[in-house]
Structure 1
Amino acid sequence: MRQCLVGKEKEAMLDNNRECQAALEVLLVSPLYDCRCKRGMKKELQCLQNYWTIHMGLTEDGDMDDSSPYEPVAPSRHHDAFRLASISSGMLTVAPKGFQCVDAEKNCNPCLDAAKACNLNNSCKRQRSAYIATCSKEDTNKGEVCSQKRCHKALRQFLDRVPPEFSHRLLFCPCQSEGCAERRRQTIVPECSYKDKEKPNCLEHRRVCRQDSLCRSRLADYMVNCAVTPQTVSTCPNQDNHQACLASYARLIGTEMTPNYVDSSFSNWTVSRGAAVRAAATRKRNAPTSSGNSRITHA
């Protein structure tokens, strides 16, 4: 089946080649058809490649399948999920209880507190130091500011190996000042991980992403877990499971679809690239897009 999906003539192979049609028919009735992958599993990439081998043969023109290749996430109503999810709605400009500074006389900076908490955890400190060093190292071979490929890999390792209680607080800390918001923006070392020499449009990012099994899978998972409905158009998506949406957003970091805050605004912030492509893909399906205090822009 993999041989049938290689090259520019894959559509013709699926339509006209009897061996390809027979292979697809066998897969449709096999346990592999309904299989899903575990997030962070040892052979995650191999599992995802198997999933798309089957499902790319079932979608018209190899287009994006609406379903996620990952196992469904059980709904979580944990209070931390609500606190962290508040930022994704763009509605919060005051730090919620639990993020308040101990000394009321000092300016509250939850992002600085999140960094301090990370440094007190050996795993978080080690992984964070590793990706910062990698993303800040000049790529002398290519004469570039860094190796974005290596930077993305280091970021994925950080997010895969560090518990969300530390990593998500760094990514989603709510801010009341530009200094705090700038620290939040710098979390993923955007000069390396986020910026490109040239700025392709959203559909180009999406096209490149779909050619990579990991990126395609994580984008599909994000679209499922952060789907916007008419009821959630101005609030957090996925009201029943904020944590699943936050985790899916975070797992886009380190891929072609790496999202980030584009400036240091704390009251009317903008997220682009990954979120922008999701919006473009959503419009393509004639579904509503999100709005509110947050702004989603094209890369």
Structure 2
Amino acid sequence: MFMMWIYLYLVLFLLDGVVFCWGLSFSALAGPAAHSWVDCVRASDLCNQNSQCSSRYRVMRQCLVGRERDTMLASKECQDALEVLLVSPLYDCRCKRGMKKELQCLQSYWSIHMGLTEGGEFYETSPYEPVMPVRHPDALRLASIISGMHTVTPKANNCSKSGKTCNPCLDAAKACNLNNTCKKLRSTYINTCNKGDPCNRKRCHKALRQFLDRVSTNFSHQLLFCPCQDLGCAERRRQTIVPSCSFEDKVKPNCLELRKTCCHEPLCRSRLADFHMNCMVTQHTISSCPNEDNYQACLSSYAGLIGTDMTPNYLDGNDTNWIVAPWCTCKGSGNQQEQCESFMRDFTENSCLRNAIQAFGYGTDSLFHKDEPVPSIPSTQPGRETTANTSEPPYNRSQVQPEVEDKGKPLLEPSSGYHGLTRPKGPAEDGSLRPCAHPQNKLIPKEEVLLTTISQKMALHGPLM
């Protein structure tokens, strides 16, 4: 037994030396001003400069190709390759949303992490660099707003003329038109999404992603999350992403099938993982959001889903009891009905997302955005937009129908697991579909992976004597 522990210590010491050497190599190449995160494109280049890492990286890519991927991943050759890559720069790399080589970066990230996920892990770690939290001086006031202790009028609804109802979503559109980048890219996606019958959804989604990735959140978030107090404003907000092309379809797919489709595409899979990481409900903060009430991270992650197969939107033009969700249904889920409904609750009953959107409308967005000022424009009454052309489809307020009576479903309750975040309320070990994961490969810390591998080898060969 004593010799076994000595053997284990020596192996870990050697692995630590490998990590240290790779760290020095990276620091020398990246320079003194390197970011704490290395992007996965750069990490891939660093790996290719090391013969051992490069050969194992090629093996790992082959392990993830084809229909027999799960069987391949369980093979000794693939596991040995993964063991080496766990101590390479690729393991801790991250990507930036909207970066020049985003898709290549995400493919490099998943080349390792797809081999570490397990069927029981419904949620995955985000491949994106985290958005740093912003602590608000009015946190106590926000707590009272969120808990419903008192009613506060959204800041954008303060009209210049008393007794007149404002349309902050219309004001957001006018502000966008006063910014050249916002106006150009907004007109592009509106024209693209309205072209053809039926429209080209892939082009529409691409144009939407370009708008959301390249336009300051000062403008894009005002369009997506503008606070409304009447049906006309709420319907304009719902129409922001041209839902007839980007969101709706003739048939609603099953939500788990839609999720499976999403998880087969690196970009959609990454955006969904990012949404779950940043909007998952937790009991440890005022707003129910993880990472110190990080509203901005949740809003940005939600916006990041727009333009993917998992595009969410407001389900109707209701101005009070609004609900957001992807275009899908849980009908036909069979014995996975509970799992499907749990997935849908991540959108429809997500108190973190709802509180983040609510807080945005109450004025805290000015604390998030400091990069570019929004032009000051007078509040406009609904239906009286003038000046700049928004290139929007015509809006007919008479078509707005009130939502059916709200069912008053409770918000998600916090639960244990996933670092205190809410897990889906479905069966964990019933053999049900886990579309983003692979069986028998759990997402666990690097040290535990190494210890497990060493223990398995010692069981086969015995300790050194």
TM-score range, shorter chain: 0.7 to 0.9
Quote how far apart the aligned CAs of 1:111 are. 0.4
1:131-169, Cα deviation, whole Å (9 max, x unpaired): 00000000xxxxx42011100000000001100000000
1:145 pairs with 2:204: no
**Aligned residue runs from structure 1 range 7-18, under 5 A:** 7-16=66-75, 18=76
Give per-residue Cα distances to partners, 1:211-238, cap 9 Å, x unaligned: 01011101101101111124679x5634
Alpha-carbon offset, residue 102 of structure 1: 2.9
> How far did residue 105 of structure 1 move?
3.9
Q: Contact 1:131 / 1:158 at 8 angstroms: preserved in 2?
A: yes
Q: Secondary structure at the match of 2:91?
A: helix
Asked if the contact 2:247/2:327 (under 8 Å) is kept, the reply is no
Unaligned runs of 5+ in 2: 1-59, 331-337, 355-405, 412-465
Alignment of 1:177-216 (within 5 A): 177-216=230-269
CA-to-aligned-CA distance 1:66-93 (integer Å, 9 cap, x gap): 211111221123689999x99xx79798
Query: Aligned pair 1:163/2:163, yes or no?
Result: no
Which residue, out of 134, 141, 160, partners 1:102?
160
Identity %: 63
Residue 122 (1) aligns with residue 144 (2): no
Q: Contact 1:94–1:174 (CA<8 Å) still a contact in 2?
A: no
Tell me, what secondary structure is at the counterpart of 1:32? coil
The CA RMSD measured in Å over matched residues stands at 3.5
Match of 1:173 in 2: 226
CA distance in 2, matches of 1:170, 1:93: 23
SS of residue matched to 1:186: helix
TM-score by length of 2: 0.55
Q: d(CA) in 1 for partners of 2:240 and 2:272?
A: 21
2:112 match: 54
**CA gap 1:229/1:65 in 2 versus in 1, 3 angstroms:** closer
Letter in 2 for 1:219: L
What is the Cα deviation at residue 47 of structure 1?
Answer: 0.8
Aligned pairs (5 A) from 1:269-288: 269-273=322-326, 283=342
User: What is the count of residue pairs matched by the alignment?
Assistant: 283
Given that 1:127 and 1:158 are in contact with CA atoms closer than 8 Å, whether structure 2 keeps it comes out as: yes
Q: Are 1:56 and 1:62, in contact at CA under 8 Å, matched by a contact in 2?
A: no
The SS at the match of 1:33 is coil
TM-score, normalised with respect to structure 1: 0.83
Work out the CA distance in 1 between the residues paired with 2:136 and 2:155: 15
Shift in CA distance, 274/82, structure 1 to aligned 2, threshold 3 Å: farther
Q: Decide whether the 8 Å contact of 2:253 with 2:329 is kept in 1.
A: no
Corresponding letter in the other structure for 2:155:
K
C-alpha displacement of 1:56: 0.5
Instruction: Determine the C-alpha separation between the residues in 2 that align with 1:109 and 1:98.
Output: 8
How far off is 1:59 after superposition? Answer: 1.4
Equivalent-residue separation in structure 1 for 2:159 and 2:97 (angstroms)? 34
Once residues 280 and 145 of structure 1 are traced to their aligned partners in structure 2, the CA distance between those partners, rounded to angstroms, is 33
Q: Is contact 2:247-2:311 (8 Å) kept? A: yes
Tell me which stretches of 4 or more aligned residues in structure 1 moved more than 4 Å. Answer: 61-65, 78-83, 89-95, 274-277, 279-282, 291-296
- The 1:9/1:146 distance shift into structure 2, 3 A limit, reads same
2:306 counterpart (253, 263, 267): 253
> If you compute each CA radius of gyration, which structure gives the higher value, 1 or 2?
2
